[in-house]
Amino acid sequence: MSAIGLDDKLYPAVKIAIVADLLRRQGIPAAKALLSTGLSEGELTSAATRVSLKQVIQCYRNAIQFSSNPFVAYRAGLQFHVSAYGMYGFAILSSTNFRQTMYFATKYHELAAPLADIAFSEEGGLGIWTIVPLALPQPDPSLYRFVTEAQFGVHASLHCDIMGAFFAPKELHVTYKPAGDARAYSQVFGCPVLFGQQGNRFIFEAAWLDRTPKLGSEVTYGSVVSLCDHLLEELHLNAGVAGKVRQALLVNLAQPTNFESIARHLHMTPRTLRRRLREENTSFRDLLDGLRMQVAIKYFRDTKLTVEEVAHSLGYSDAANFRHAFRRWTQAAPDQFKSASKAP
């Protein structure tokens, strides 16, 4: 997993919406499904809503508490289809090679509001997904089980979406003991389930990977992967304490903003903020310079603002200081960069 914090609100509400809808069909009202998430039912249908991993975890805890179905996690996972994952799902669907699909799904998994690390391998004619639920400050066996079984459901659903409705796993391995009758697991999951294993594994015949995707397109796949690269970069830029500093700076970029005021805004002491940024391998100066550079480049490419106007919009009282900084960032004078960016 990356440095994305549990409290960072970066993801669409789709995971929570799907679980809430499943619970509703079990007769559990939205108020219970969303208990302690801080979300309203209306927010689940808004494309503008962004949620944190902590809110997704709370929704999962509510499902554990209020659902009487011992396999609610797996049932929830089966509700996830490629269409629920935006560009990430579209890339999975448009890949022209299933082994390429496995690699892509692993590399860009952060886009899917992940509560587990996933890894893929091939061994002895088998395709193997390994699932490691996110480590929480306080171990929670029921949540660990929920995340694992929900991920099994997601894998089963997505494989069926791209490989065909007849896809089925060969075997599932889990690290824990069965809750209730072990025979029920095989009936629900549609394959043998082995308990007390060294890892959580979703295993299928690797021959499935030799098939040709019916909806694959090299052109489409290449374009969508580029979009996913941009989304992943944006996700990382907004993650962690550094992301909160960037957001605070962006709001007041035209006004001189000092380190101490940002620390107060984030309810931290300057010493704590400096340490947290150091832990994320950055600094206040690096973040401010990086943001100013990105905005300046965008202004020069997309607007007719003069160098002096761009300098003022970025909080520089002296255009000469901005010219010096821009040359340091890009190895080019702002006037030259501006002219080159407008050239046909």
Shared-domain flag, residues 78 and 207: yes
* Range(s) of the domain holding residue 317: 239-342
| Domains held by the chain: number | 3
pTM of the full structure: 0.80
- Asked whether residue 229 is assigned to any structural domain, the reply reads no
The verdict on 76 and 52 lying in the same domain is no
Residues 308 and 245 in one domain: yes
Write out pLDDT tens, residues 218-227: 999 999 999 9
State the DSSP code for 119.
E
Whether 125 and 27 share a structural domain: no
Q: Are residues 269 and 282 in the same domain?
A: yes
| Residues 49 and 81 placed together within one structural domain of the fold | no
Q: Report residue 116: phi and psi, to 5°.
A: -155, 150
Q: How confident is the model at residue 2 (pLDDT cuts 50, 70, 90)?
A: low
Residues 76 and 174 in one domain: yes
Q: In this structure, are 50 and 121 located in the same domain?
A: no
Are 183 and 282 in a shared domain?
Answer: no
User: Are 134 and 166 found together in one domain?
Assistant: yes
CB distance 101 to 116 below 8 Å: no
- In terms of Cβ atoms closer than 10 Å to its own Cβ (0-12, 13-18, 19+), residue 45 is exposed
pLDDT at 269: 94
Helix-strand-coil split of the chain, %, nearest 5: 60, 10, 35
Considering the domain boundaries, does residue 227 fall inside one?
Answer: no
If you average pLDDT over every residue of the chain, what do you get?
A: 92
Q: Is residue 280 part of a domain?
A: yes
Residues 258 and 299 in one domain: yes
The tens digit of pLDDT for each residue in 293-311 reads: 988 888 888 888 899 998 8
Residue ending a domain, choose from 188, 221, 254:
221
Q: What is the pLDDT of residues 52-98, one digit of tens each?
A: 999 999 999 999 999 999 999 999 999 999 999 999 999 999 999 99
80, 157 in Cβ contact below 8 A?
Answer: yes
193/183 Cα distance (integer angstroms) = 9
Identify whether residues 96 and 214 lie together within a single domain.
yes
Closest CA to 115 of 67, 83, 150, 71: 150
The C-alpha angle 78, 81, 83, rounded to 5 degrees, equals 160
Cβ–Cβ under 8 Å, residues 96 and 218:
yes
In a domain, 234, yes or no: no
Looking at the predicted structure, is the pLDDT value of residue 228 above 80? Answer: yes
